[in-house]
Amino acid sequence: MKAQETKDMVRAKYAEIALQDKGTNASSCCGAGGCTKEAYTIMSDDYTELKGYAPDADLGLGCGLPTQSAGIKPGDTVLDLGSGAGNDCFVARAEAGEDGRVIGVDFTPEMIAKARTNATKLGYSNVEFRQGDIEALPLSANMVDVAVSNCVLNLVPDKRKAFSEVLRVLKPGGHFNISDIVLRGQLPENIRKAAEMYAGCVSGALQESEYMGIVHDLGFEQVTIQKRKAINLPDDILSNYLSAEEIAAFRTSGTGIFSITVAATKPAMLAEKAALKAACCGPDSSCC
């Protein structure tokens, strides 16, 4: 798909998801529709014990608990990339406190409306939701202490651009905690092409090495994978796209689908480092 076609498809699918109840979403492949008869969901992590958890904002669409381990401090400005109905924003607010600020960005109008309704019901004046594209965030540079995201960047066509935007809006020394889907080995092409599986967080995923390479290449520091868990897609999902023989071959291929939680920090002296490198080396940076 072309990038805009992909965005339009994901927007339409998640507009549908915004109108579904959590039970429907949680029993599906990351909210893509009732696509398995098995008791299965990518989102096996439990938010319910986290301070700030709001059941009405939990659509069961994540693949980790990035906000739990994000190191949010009182007074921080926190950004949630792909904020959905506001689940991670409200957990972040509990950590940032009354003096903090939480901004959720989502490009699906129905999700924004749902999140704003939830925030109003909860009486939160320091949580706001902005409609926008993660590849062109509607935020000024150097204004965010902590960025979080839960199973969203895999849906973004240009992940390098998305991470560049995260780098831009973070304050020097700010950091991100992002849970996402990555691959090890190649998925069968007909899975990658399937729109339902894409909205279900799998077909848009990068190879783990490529994903982590983007983070390193952009200059983030202290890059770590805090958590990794394997995702095992049930046969009745795969049978929509593969024959029995192809499923058997896929199971023994060594190909892996994983949820990872990645943390990294924007260098405190990023601009100064770039200027020093240019002064030292000129256009040829090999000497550095």
Per residue in 156-213, pLDDT (tens digit) is 999 999 999 999 999 999 999 999 999 998 888 877 776 566 656 676 889 999 999 9
What pLDDT sits at residue 276?
53
pLDDT at 29 over 50: no
Q: How many CA atoms lie within 13 A of 162 on its CB side?
A: 22
243 Cβ neighbours under 8 A, 6+ residues apart: none
Helix (H, G, I), strand (E, B) or coil at 144: strand
Distance in angstroms (rounded) separating the CA atoms of residues 10 and 52: 28
Closest to 68 measured CA to CA, from 101, 94, 42: 94
253 Cβ neighbours under 8 A, 6+ residues apart: 185
What pLDDT sits at residue 32?
43
89 Cβ neighbours under 8 A, 6+ residues apart: 57, 78, 80, 83, 102, 103, 104, 115, 119, 127, 129
What pLDDT sits at residue 202?
74
- Do residues 144 and 174 lie in contact, with contact meaning Cβ atoms separated by under 8 Å? yes
DSSP E strand stretches across the chain: 77-81, 101-106, 127-131, 144-150, 170-184, 206-207, 221-230, 256-265
Q: Are strands 206-207 and 170-184 parallel, antiparallel or unpaired?
A: parallel
Domain-wise residue ranges, the chain? 3-281
When the candidates are 2.40.37.10, 3.40.309.10, 3.40.50.150, 3.40.50.2300, the CATH number that belongs to 3-281 is 3.40.50.150
What pLDDT sits at residue 40?
47
DSSP state of 271: H
Average pLDDT over every residue of 60-65: 86
Confidence of residue 281 (pLDDT cuts 50, 70, 90): low
CA dihedral 94, 95, 97, 100 (to 10 degrees): -120
Helix (H, G, I), strand (E, B) or coil at 108: coil
Percent of the residues in the chain that have a pLDDT greater than 90, as a whole number: 54
Answer with the residue of higher pLDDT: 136 or 272. Answer: 136
DSSP state of 138: S
Confidence of residue 225 (pLDDT cuts 50, 70, 90): very high
pLDDT digits (tens, 9 = 90+) for 107-120: 999 999 999 999 99
User: Whole-prediction pTM value?
Assistant: 0.84
Sign of the Cα pseudo-torsion (139, 145, 150, 153, in order): positive
Work out the mean pLDDT of the chain and round it to a whole number.
85
- Structure token digits, residue 288: 């550095």
Q: Provide the phi-psi class of 171: left if phi over 0, else alpha when psi is between -120 and 50, else beta.
A: beta
